């Protein structure tokens, strides 16, 4: 009978989604190049992982972007929350933006821990729950080390593997460049005589310069990128290709890109139109939701996406006439 079923302990279920908490929880897509969950439950807790995807699978814009349910059980609410945070901090996902950092921050929120929960809790605490601290010098150095190829295991049939990094008189150094958000990062990676790797960073990450590494940090290498894991946060760096920099700069100048994959459902302006900052330009439909794309500044439309077009994350939706040409067009 029901009276014979005793309640014991406390449990939480965290739903891990491909979404960007910092952009209003917009759905994200991408290939899961890395997908690792904890091998064992945190001490004093039990854990269950429910998932239907694996590393190499793609999160598409056509289906719900949930990746997994992480369920923990412990003796009481506080212990269960601590176990949940610990499990999220040992979860590694790379290839798509995910909400693990948000879930870990929510598990650590004092009001949530106390059970003082209502539908406005996330809105009240949104900056604290969604903002992520910039990467430390150690995290950037770990990404630079991985991007340089230093420390990577050579093929077993490589006859030169035992001589990797050898120099007769001084350490071997390699320059590498990364991009994190809008920041361009330059680093110098060298091998010390004792076998340690040393990474020296340029500004603004040089305040604690010269980082030495013996143990490998938690990271994932995937095409053109390095993701370094720090707790529940995955910091993703783009590995810059010097040959592609000019093309990328040209593509990004005076343009507006899609914040997610989707369908261009409605276009409100046309080529040659003068627009003002905040004016709706088009509507992008993704995951059964409509998102209005507005002008980031005043300008004149040079090109705009076609209504009905299916676009991917980062696709250029709108190009603006260059400032000098725009002034002439508006005057005419």
For 155-167, the DSSP string reads PTT-TTGGGTT--
Query: How far from chain centre, in Å, is Cα 255?
Result: 22
CATH superfamily of 2-130: ATP-grasp fold, B domain (3.30.470.20)
Q: Say if residue 243's pLDDT is above 80.
A: no
Residues 197 and 189 sit within 8 Å (Cβ to Cβ): yes
Q: Say if residue 120's pLDDT is above 90.
A: yes
Query: How far from chain centre, in Å, is Cα 79?
Result: 29
pLDDT band at 326 (very low <50, low <70, confident <90, very high): very low
DSSP string, 241-256: -GGGHHHHHHHHTTEE
Between these two residues, 194 and 315, which has the higher pLDDT value?
315
Per-residue tokens: 116: 């003082």
Between these two residues, 313 and 10, which has the higher pLDDT value?
10
Residues in the chain, overall count: 332
pLDDT band at 325 (very low <50, low <70, confident <90, very high): very low
**d(C-alpha 259, C-alpha 287), whole Å:** 13
Cis peptide before 204 (omega within 30 of 0): yes
SS3 5: coil
SS3 196: coil
Summarize the confidence of residues 25-49 as an average pLDDT: 94
pLDDT band at 210 (very low <50, low <70, confident <90, very high): low
Domain with CATH 2.40.128 in the chain: 137-150+165-240
Between these two residues, 142 and 153, which has the higher pLDDT value?
142
pLDDT band at 181 (very low <50, low <70, confident <90, very high): confident
Between these two residues, 246 and 35, which has the higher pLDDT value?
35
Q: Say if residue 142's pLDDT is above 50.
A: yes
Domain with CATH 3.30.470.20 in the chain: 2-130
**d(C-alpha 67, C-alpha 34), whole Å:** 12
| pLDDT attached to residue 151 | 59
**d(C-alpha 189, C-alpha 198), whole Å:** 6
DSSP H or E stretch at residue 123: helix 121-124
Number of neighbouring beta carbons within 10 Å of residue 300: 19
Provide the CATH number for the domain formed by 137-150+165-240 in this structure: 2.40.128
| pLDDT attached to residue 159 | 53
Between these two residues, 216 and 134, which has the higher pLDDT value?
134
SS3 26: strand
Residues 307 and 265 sit within 8 Å (Cβ to Cβ): yes
Torsion sign over Cα 234, 235, 240, 246: positive
| pLDDT attached to residue 212 | 59
Summarize the confidence of residues 91-118 as an average pLDDT: 96
What percentage of the chain carries pLDDT values higher than 70?
81
**d(C-alpha 217, C-alpha 309), whole Å:** 42
Summarize the confidence of residues 175-192 as an average pLDDT: 86
Q: Say if residue 322's pLDDT is above 70.
A: no
Domain with CATH 2.40.50.100 in the chain: 245-331
pLDDT in tens, 247-290: 444 444 578 888 878 889 999 999 999 999 999 999 998 777 78
State the average pLDDT for the chain.
Answer: 84
pLDDT band at 172 (very low <50, low <70, confident <90, very high): low
Between these two residues, 210 and 45, which has the higher pLDDT value?
45
Between these two residues, 63 and 131, which has the higher pLDDT value?
131
| pLDDT attached to residue 215 | 56
| pLDDT attached to residue 231 | 95
Which residue in the block uniquely carries the two structure tokens 């949940």?
Answer: 84
Summarize the confidence of residues 112-133 as an average pLDDT: 94
Tell me phi and psi for residue 198, to 5 degrees.
-120, 130
| pLDDT attached to residue 161 | 47
Q: Which CATH class is domain 245-331?
A: mainly beta
Q: Say if residue 225's pLDDT is above 90.
A: yes
């Amino acid at each position: 009978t029901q009276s014979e079923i005793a309640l014991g302990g406390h449990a939480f279920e965290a739903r891990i989604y491909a979404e960007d908490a910092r952009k209003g929880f917009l759905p994200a897509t991408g290939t899961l190049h890395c997908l690792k969950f904890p091998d064992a439950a945190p001490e004093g807790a039990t854990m269950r992982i429910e998932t239907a995807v694996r590393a190499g699978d793609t999160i598409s814009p056509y289906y719900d972007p949930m990746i997994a349910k992480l369920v923990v059980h412990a003796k009481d609410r506080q212990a269960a929350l601590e176990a949940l945070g610990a499990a999220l901090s040992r979860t590694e996902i790379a290839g798509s933006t995910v909400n693990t950092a948000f879930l870990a921050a929510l598990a650590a929120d004092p009001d949530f821990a106390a059970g003082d929960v209502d539908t406005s809790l996330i809105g009240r605490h949104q900056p604290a729950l969604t903002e992520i601290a910039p990467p430390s010098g150690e995290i950037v150095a770990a990404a630079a080390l991985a991007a340089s190829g230093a420390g990577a295991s050579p093929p077993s049939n490589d006859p030169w593997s035992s001589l990797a990094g050898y120099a007769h008189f001084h350490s071997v150094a390699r320059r590498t460049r990364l991009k994190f958000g809008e920041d361009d990062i330059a680093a110098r990676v060298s091998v010390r005589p004792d076998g340690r790797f040393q990474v020296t960073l340029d500004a603004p990450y040089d305040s604690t310069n010269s980082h030495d590494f013996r143990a490998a940090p938690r990271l994932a290498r995937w095409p053109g990128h390095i993701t370094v894991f720090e707790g529940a946060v995955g910091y993703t760096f783009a590995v810059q290709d010097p040959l592609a920099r000019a093309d990328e700069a040209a593509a990004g100048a005076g343009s507006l890109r899609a914040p997610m994959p989707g369908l261009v459902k409605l276009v409100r302006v046309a080529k040659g139109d003068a627009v003002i900052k905040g004016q709706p330009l088009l509507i992008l439909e993704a995951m059964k939701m409509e998102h209005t794309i507005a002008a980031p500044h005043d300008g004149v439309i040079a090109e705009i996406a076609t209504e009905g077009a299916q676009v991917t994350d980062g696709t250029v939706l709108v190009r603006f006439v260059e400032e000098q040409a725009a002034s002439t067009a508006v005057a005419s």
